[in-house]
Structures are given as C-alpha cells and as structure tokens.
Amino acid sequence: MATILCPHCGGRTDASNRHCSRCGVTLYEDQQNAEPPAQESASPGQPIGAAANEAEAEPSAIASPSAQGALDAGQVGAAAVEPIDGDAEKLPPAPKPAVLFPDERMSSEVTALLEPVQVSGAGFGSDAAIHVLPLPPSDINHLRALRTIMATEPMIASSLPVRAPRPYSYRTAWVTVLLLLALLLAFTRPSQPLASPPHRWPGVQAAYEQIQQIPPGSRMIVLWAYDASSAGEMDLVALPVVTHLVERSITLDVISLLPGGPAVGRRLLARANGLPPSLDSAALAAALPAGGVFLAGGASVLPLVGQDRPNALNKPAARLGAEATYQLALVFAAQADDVQEWLEQVQPFDGLPVVAVTGAGADPLLRPYLDSGQLSGLVSGFDGASAYQELRAHPLSDSEAELLLLHTRAQNWGALALVTVLILGSLAGFMARGQNE
Amino acid sequence: MSTRLATLMRYATTGVFVFFLVIIALDRTGFIPALRTLVTPIYEIALLLGAVAVVLGAVSVAWSHLHRVQAGAAGWGYSLILLVTLVIVFAAGLLDVRGAASPLLEWFFDSIIAPGQATLFALLVFFMTAAAFHLARIGRRGGAWLLAGMVVTLLAQTPALQSWLPVGYASFAGWLVDGPVMAALRGVLVAAALGAVVVIVRMALGRS
C-alpha cells in the first residue's frame, strides 16, 4: 500500500488516510479535491492502530487497523509494533469529522494539532480499536480557537504603531518656572543689605581663630577637593578664607585628588589676589609655589600625604620646607567624604589641626567631627562665608562683597521657592486623591 | 588555563591581599614603627597604579571612539569631535614646557571646561526640585516625614528667616540633624561598610 510522509511530523502513513497515523494532523484540506501528497513506494509492514479514517468511501468509518498503512522496517518503533487484529465491521461508525480550517496551512512549529475529537482506546500497539468520539460543541469551539492561535504564524510589524502625542503636561513645568522666577527676583532686585545677619553656626569663629593664630609667612597644606562643577558655590564660600590667607601672606601647598582641582585653586587664588588667573604671574606663583599637585589614585594615596609628604608632592623636602612650618591643614571640599577621608587617612599621621570649608550640604555630616574635636573649625555654606567675612578686619572688595550678598539673597529666594514647591506638592496630592475618590 | 594553575593563582592573590592587609593594619596601629619603611612604598605603588589607570582610561576612550569613527557608527561625528579635542589639548600641554600650566590649557579650562561643568551641575537643582515635588507629599508613603524634615531644615538654613523664626529654632534643627538623623545615617553607613568588607573578603577568597 502506498505510504506518504506527513508534512507535520514526518511520519509515514497510508496514502488513503485523511489524518496522519502518528500525530493525527489533517493531511488533506478538501475532502473532494484533495490530492494526496507525494507518495512513496509501498513498504511492507504491519498495520498499526491510529485515529485515522478512510478518506474516500467511508470517511466516518474507522479504518480497520489491519487495513491501515504499516510502519516501515526502518521507522522508529517498527520492530516493536505488533499487528492489531480487529474486525472493523464490528466497530460503530464514527462521525465524519468536518474540515475545520480548509485554508489553514499546517505549521511545522506547532506540535500535535489534532482535530478536536476525543479518542478513546488504548492507543497504538493495543489490541483494541480506537473509537473516535465527538466532543461537546462548547469544547470544540474552544479547541478550535486554541488551534487557530497556535497554527497561525506571528506577524512581524514592519513598523511600530504611531501613538498620538500626549498633550503637554504643565504639572511639573511650573516647578521649573517657580524656581526661575525666584532666581530672577534675587538677581534683578536692587541689592540691599540683608535684613538680618546670617546665623553664625558653630565652627566659624573657631576656624577664624585657627587661621589668625598662624604666623604670617607660614606654609599651609591644602586639599582642594572640589572642581569647576561645584565652584559656583564653593568659590564664594572659600573666598573669604582664601582672602584671609592671602592677607597673612601664607603660602599654600595645594594637592587635589581631582584633575581639575589645582586649576580651580589657581583661579580662586588669583581672584583673591586681584590677579588674572594665570600662573605666569609672579605674585600668584609666590602664593602657590607648588603650583598645585594632582594625585591619581583617589583616597588610597592620602596616607602617603601624611607619611611622606615631599614624596607625595613630588617636591624636594628643602623646597617644601620643614614639617614644623605646617601648622594647619585646610580642606576645601564640596562633600563631606573628602573631609572624612583626610581626617581618617592623613591626620592620624601628621597630627595637624584641620579646618574644613565645605558646602552647606556637608555641614550636618561634619558637625559631629567638630563636636568631637577632630575638626578645629568648620565654615559651610553662604551663611558660613558671610559670618566668616564679618569676623575679618579687612572687608572684601566691593564687587566680591556684592557677589556674596547676591548669592545669599538668591539662597533666600531659592529656599522659599523650594518650600513653596513642597507645600504645593502635598496640596496637589490631596486634590488628585479627592478626584480619584 | 588549567585548574591547578587557576587554583594556584587564586591562592597567591589571596595571600598577597592578606599580606598587605595585615601589614597596613599593623602600621596603622603604630605598634611596629619599623613597618613604615615597608608601607610607604606600597602607597607609592598605589599612586603609580592610579596614574597608569588615568592614562589607560584616556587611551581606552580614544581607542573606542576611533573605532566608532572608522565604522561610521551612529553619532560618529561626536566621537570625531572628542578625538580632535583630545589631540589638541594633549598637544597644547605637551608642546609647552610649562605643561599643565601653559596659557592655552589654562584658557581651555577657564573658558570651556569650567563653565560647562558648572552649567551641567546647575541643572541638578531643577531635577531635584521636581523629584521633591513628587516624593515629599503627605499622601505618599514616608512622604510626610520627608516633607517635615525638608521644611524644618530649609527654614533653618534660610538666612532671611533667622529674625522671624523663634529663638532656639536653629538649635532645634541642629539637634534634629545631629541626633536622630545622624544616628540613622550612621547606621546605614556602618551597614554599607560592613557589606563592602564582606564582599571584598569573598572576592579575595574567590567565593564571589
């Protein structure tokens, strides 16, 4: 008997069968016009039990297992298959299975797409014949829908669907507008003295006294731990302190763990001296003899600064001066981490008192160090710089004083704008919750 | 690499790590002053490694962007600008005997790098304010605490309000930050540090 290869599972089945004897997939789309696929030469073999039916004459009758195509000798399991004996005439006629999806292509990716029928019996190799029983209509529809989903190939869209642009939301834009308005008010209103002096936080007085005690002409080691990104705040905070140092003719040996740190220090020193920010200036070179040293390696090389400072600065000890002239260490940092690292990695070795000049955000983290005595002075934020400036006998130049006042005023407006944003944010949350309810 | 060699290298790495750890820890205690002569070169090696890492990083950036330009990848124009800028600045420092103190490098920093960094950093305040607007709300979980803490601290930090606030308000805000807030923060910092130590030890022992 002629056998065919199932396009789904590749198994051989009788050419007259409408369904594959292995996987049960429908082989012929149309009952009447179906052309059997490529047939191969008939191979002797034993018939096997399957849910296969006669295709032409008795589509509803279950083919006798003995009349079905047999497995070839080379097919897997062929040797184990026993011929099934049975009398087809005794079997009740099975209902004719409908052609469910005549236009559907068989997909090789989906396994075991059976017709929605219920098969009773022992299956292949059994002596009993297999009866094909119809399923209830509800189950049939469900299984047909499932088969449709599994049989269709996924469609790849050539382009993603274009979503309609959302209308611009003004909910968060007003936050930016409010901040800009606050800054505009701060910088455009005529400058006036502050109505009240800034709060003198603890540490400012101590920092001033520490620097005031240093003999004029001494050397001081400085860690410059901020770069141009935070120079907008830190330059103004550090300016009164640096100007104080310049007035006392104190020489600074600047080291930095940031590549841009020495350059920022150079600029601020030039600004404090009223000079152009170029190291060609003799006065600036005198105030900054080491020129600023960048130490690669981060905080891990700080212990070297405490243990072997000339080697760390790559300068001969004679040029730097004896260790005794270093009476104070100054740390200019935008963050508290840099000050903490100096206190932990350097101060235990050299024992120098440390004064920190930091941004306002670092103040809470460094205040415990001030209380414990590890820090000898702390100047933080614009108000700290203003308080330090008030302690100095010599005021800043008019332009610098005006700039410091301007930024302090901007801080006032900015803080009030931020508080307004926070309060309005809570109100917006209440309103949104009320609308949702 | 054979298993035996890999095991040997792992033990060697662990041994070197433990050796340096013990030496530096003993030196920090001060019990053996003679260790200072051994520890100082270790820090110098770290300094050299840091410098090499900086150079290696610059070379790596240049190499990757050069490949992007050669391959015509998306945004290759920006990579070309980066490479040209790198060559110009490098040449400016190399050709001048003053090195990093050359006027051209100083101009680069004063006119381009410093304003650019300051501009980018200044945008941070708008993002932080928008985030505070969304997060610090009474209705949100934990938002009430955030809102209260931020308002208390901001009012204490505003110079213009010092004369309007009650006497002792700034001290109260200072106590709040120095006491409960720092206690919580230090707990987090200690836990993070302990976690880092555990990770380092596990990496050294090859159990990462």
Predicted confidence (pLDDT) per residue in B93-118, tens digit: 888 887 777 788 888 888 888 888 88
**Residue B84 confidence (pLDDT):** 94
Q: Does A276 or B30 have the greater pLDDT score?
A: B30
> Which of B40, B53, B138 has the CB atom closest to A426's CB atom?
B138
Amino acid identity, residue A188?
A: T
Which whole-number Å values give the CA distances from B51 to A32, A257, A259, B58, in the listed order? 84, 11, 11, 11
Question: What residue in A sits closest to B108 (Cα-Cα)?
Answer: A263
**Residue A111 confidence (pLDDT):** 44
**Residue A178 confidence (pLDDT):** 78
CB contacts, 8 Å: A423 with chain B? 151
Question: How confident is the model over B26-51, as a mean pLDDT?
Answer: 86
pLDDT-based confidence at B29, cuts 50/70/90? confident
Tokens at A409, concatenated: 């005023």
**Residue A118 confidence (pLDDT):** 58
B132 touches chain A (CB under 8 A): yes
Residue in this structure with the two tokens 């243990």, named with its chain if needed: A307
**Residue B58 confidence (pLDDT):** 93
**Residue A343 confidence (pLDDT):** 93
| pLDDT lower than 50: segments of chain A | 31-89, 97-113, 122-128, 318, 322, 324
Measure CA A310 to chain center: 43
**Residue A114 confidence (pLDDT):** 53
Amino acid identity, residue A234?
A: M
Q: Is residue B57 scored above 90 in pLDDT?
A: yes
Q: Is residue B204 scored above 90 in pLDDT?
A: no
Question: How confident is the model over B54-62, as a mean pLDDT?
Answer: 93
Which whole-number Å values give the CA distances from A242 to A74, A87, A169, A252, A386, in the listed order? 95, 111, 47, 10, 13
**Residue A39 confidence (pLDDT):** 46
B190 touches chain A (CB under 8 A): no
Q: Which residue stretches of chain B are H helix?
A: 3-29, 36-71, 76-95, 103-108, 114-122, 124-135, 143-157, 169-176, 182-204
**Residue A283 confidence (pLDDT):** 59
Q: Does B186 or A353 have the greater pLDDT score?
A: A353
Q: Does A385 or B143 have the greater pLDDT score?
A: A385
**Residue A64 confidence (pLDDT):** 40
Percent of chain A residues topping a pLDDT of 70: 59
Distance between CA atoms of residues A113 and A135, nearest Å? 16
B25 touches chain A (CB under 8 A): no
Annotate A177-200 with DSSP letters as a single string.
HHHHHHHHHHHHSPP---SSPPP-
- B98/A421 touch (CB, cutoff 8 Å), yes or no: no
CB contacts, 8 Å: B150 with chain A? 418, 422
